[in-house]
Amino acid sequence: MGKINTNAAQINATLISNKRIGQYQQLIINIGDLANDCKPGNFVAISVGGESSRMVLRRAFAISRTSMSATFGGTMELIVAPHGQGSRWLCEQGEGALLDVVVPLGTAFGIPTEPVEALLVGGGYGSAPLFGLAEVLKARGCRVDMLLGASTGSKIYAPMEGKRAVNSLRIYTEDGSMGQMGRVTDAIPNLIADLDVAVIYSCGPMPMLAAINAITSKSDVVHQAAVEEAMACGIGICMTCVVPVADSTGAISMLRSCIDGPVMDGALVQWDKVGRVL
């Protein structure tokens, strides 16, 4: 599976908890000692549909956070929007169900070696992995501020949890039903200046990530973006999740978001070429 996934393993994992939170489903899955190898930004590939299903491809889900406890051992939390057939099947599974998972996969967010000012920007339920990241950054001594955005308030994931996890939280919705009316990117330029932000971590729709990068490209702020591209295999074989990325010489290659990502240097992703044939 390549050097990026040397800690990954395929296991049958027990679903410990399955709860509805707003429009989303919170799944807690027992993965044992593999939880120690999971980092913010990693994902899991899960076999869906059961043994008789025609859904032969695994589904990839971002890991929200992991934890170790005396009761359950190592667990991972997933926040799932039951939109597609595979995610609906997963969300319908009862506690105690065995799930065929491959974990941990992909590249993780880079964590600063010393305390810095960090801004976390999330769109919809794509913001869930940022909560676990916030915990890691704060343990490193970083100041952590968060922006959450969505089209409407019901699509903002766990705003109260976000408020507890960071130094400050601002919410933006396009219809004004929660927080301030507008796009989540509206506040970024002023926050970069006011807070002396050193790094932005982002999770969410590709247009949002591109908009963030347009802002950071005019500054010295590092932008680590967790790209959202559909993954069919999750282990770098099928080439369906490629993203155009430049190297240090400016040469553009189609990199696999499951192996070379999902976390990428936003400054190198060619956002205007995403989805186009090069």
Give per-residue pLDDT as tens, 196-222.
999 999 999 999 999 999 999 999 999
At 148-201, the pLDDT tens digits run 999 999 999 888 877 788 999 999 999 999 999 999 999 999 999 999 999 999
pLDDT at 4 over 80: no
Report pTM. Answer: 0.93
Q: Answer whether residue 1 shows pLDDT above 50.
A: no
Tokens of 267: 């400054």
Cα separation, 110 vs 62, whole angstroms: 16
- Which domains are assigned to the chain? 3-105 (2.40.30.10), 117-226 (3.40.50.80)
Give the distance between the most distant pair of CA atoms in the chain. 56
For residue 2, pLDDT over 60 is answered with: no
Give the mean pLDDT of 24-43: 96
Is the predicted pLDDT of residue 5 greater than 80, yes or no? Answer: no
36: confidence class by pLDDT, cuts 50, 70, 90:
very high
Q: What band does 245 get if pLDDT is binned at 50, 70 and 90?
A: very high
